[in-house]
Chains A and B, each alone.
Chain A
Amino acid sequence: MNAATAAPLGERGFDLAALSVVAVIALHAPHLPWWLTAPLLLVLGLRWWQRRSQHARTSTWLKLPLLALLVLAVVGRYGNVFGQGPGTMLAIGLLVMKLLETETVRDARVGMSFACFTLMAALLSDHSLVATIAVALGLLPPLAALRSLEPGRRVPAPLWRELLPGMGLLAVALPLAMLAFLLVPRLSSPLWGAPNSAEQRSGLADNMTPSGFTQLLVDNSPALRVSFEGPPPPPDQRYFRAYVMDQYDGVSWAYRDAADEPPAALEAAHGIRYRINLEPTRQRVLPTLDVPLSAPPDASLRRDRVVVADKPVDKLLDYTLTSATAYRLEPQPGGDQARWLELPDGFNPRTLALGQSWRKQYGSDDAAIVQAALALFHDGGFRYTLAPAPLGRDAMDDFLFDTHEGFCEHYSSAFTVLMRAAGIPARVVTGYQGGYWNAMGSYLLVRNSDAHAWSEVWLTGRGWVRVDPTAAVRPQRIDFGAAAAAPGGQLPWYQSGWLQSMRNRWDIVNRWWNLGVNGFDALRQRSLLKPFGVSETETSTLVGLLAASCVLAMLIGLAWVWRRREPEDAVRAALRGLEHKLARMGVVRARGEGPRDFLQRAARVLPTQRERLIKLMHHYLELRYAHNEAAAESLRALQRAVRDFPVSRVVK
Chain B
Amino acid sequence: MNGLLRKLAQHAERRLPALTRLRQPEPLPIELDRRRIYIVPSAFGIAFSVLLMVMLVGALNYANNAALLLTCMLGAACASSMLLAFRALDGLRLRDIRAGHATAGEPLELTLSFFASRLREAVRLDCADETHAFPVDGVTELKVYLPTVWRGWQELPRLRIWSTWPLGLFRAWSWLHPQQSVLVWPRPEVGGPPPFLPADAQERLRPQPGEELAALRDYRRGDAPRHIAWKASARHHDLLVKDFDRPEPRETWLLDWDALRSFDSETRIARLARWLGEAEAQGRRYSLKLPSGSITAGCGPTHYARCMSALALLP
Contact = CB atoms under 8 A, between A and B. Distances in A.
A173 B80 contact: yes
A146 B168 contact: yes
Contact of B62 (A139, A195, A517): A195
A187 B60 contact: yes
B66 A131 contact: yes
A170 B167 CA distance: 13
Interface string B68-89: 1111111111011101101100
Interface string A103-133: 0000001000100110111011001100110
B44 interface: yes
A153 B59 contact: no
Contacts of A184: 56, 60, 68, 72
B121 A173 contact: no
Contacts of A109: 44, 168
A520 B65 contact: yes
A520 to B, nearest CB: 6
A3 B133 CA distance: 13
Contacts of B59: 120
B124 interface: yes
B251 to A, nearest CB: 53
Given A191-B61, A517-B66, A565 B91 contact: yes
Nearest to A153: B121
B83 A154 contact: no
Given A152-B123, A186-B60, A557-B80, A123 B66 contact: yes
Q: Which of B80, B124, B134, B135 has the most CB of A within 10 A?
A: B80
B77 to A, nearest CB: 4
Contacts of A519: 65
Nearest to B91: A565
Contacts, number: 172
A127 B121 CA distance: 37
B73 A152 contact: no
Interface string B100-124: 0000000000000000011101111
Interface residues of A, number: 67
A112 to B, nearest CB: 9
Contacts of A120: 55, 58-59, 67, 70-71
A180 to B, nearest CB: 4
A192 B61 contact: yes
A119 B119 CA distance: 32
Interface string A146-183: 11011111100000000001000110111111101100
A143 B77 contact: yes
Interface string A551-587: 0011001101110111000000000000000000000
B283 interface: no
A169 B61 contact: no
A187 B47 contact: no
A196 to B, nearest CB: 11
Interface string B22-55: 0000000000001000000011100110010011
A127 B64 CA distance: 8
Contacts of B90: 561-562
B55 to A, nearest CB: 5
Contact of B134 (A152, A178, A517, A557): A152
Contacts of B34: 562
Q: Which of B91, B122, B137 has the most CB of A within 10 A?
A: B122
Interface string A297-320: 000000000000000000100000
B286 interface: no
Contacts of B124: 151-152
A135 interface: yes
A521 B57 CA distance: 15
Contact of A180 (B48, B67, B76, B168): B76
Nearest to B133: A152
Given A149-B168, A165-B166, A557-B83, A177 B61 contact: no
B53 to A, nearest CB: 11
B252 interface: no
A154 B121 contact: yes
A386 B34 CA distance: 71
Nearest to A165: B166
A268 interface: no
Contacts of A121: 67
Given A113-B47, A120-B58, A561-B90, A315 B64 contact: yes
A190 B166 contact: no
Given A117-B55, A127-B67, A132-B70, A561 B83 contact: yes
A4 interface: yes
B80 A518 contact: no
A491 interface: no
B275 interface: no
B131 interface: yes
A109 B73 CA distance: 19
Contacts of B60: 184, 186-187, 191
A565 B73 contact: no
B164 interface: yes
A66 to B, nearest CB: 25
Contacts of B185: none
B165 interface: yes
B63 interface: yes
A509 interface: no
A140 to B, nearest CB: 11
Given A143-B77, A150-B163, A169-B84, 16 more contacts: A113-B51, A116-B51, A117-B51, A121-B67, A124-B62, A132-B70, A147-B167, A154-B121, A176-B72, A176-B76, A187-B60, A187-B61, A315-B64, A517-B65, A558-B83, A562-B90
Interface of B: 34, 42-44, 47-48, 51, 54-77, 79-81, 83-84, 86-87, 90-91, 117-119, 121-124, 131-135, 137, 163-168
26 contacts: A113-B47, A116-B51, A116-B74, A119-B70, A120-B59, A123-B67, A146-B168, A150-B122, A152-B122, A152-B123, A152-B133, A152-B135, A173-B77, A173-B79, A174-B76, A180-B72, A180-B76, A191-B57, A191-B61, A521-B65, A553-B76, A553-B79, A558-B83, A561-B83, A561-B86, A566-B91
Interface of A: 1, 3-5, 84, 109, 113, 116-117, 119-121, 123-124, 127-128, 131-132, 135-136, 139, 143, 146-147, 149-154, 165, 169-170, 172-178, 180-181, 184, 186-187, 190-192, 194-195, 315, 517-521, 550, 553-554, 557-558, 560-562, 564-566
Q: Which 3 A-B pairs have the closest CB atoms?
A: A152-B133, A127-B66, A173-B76
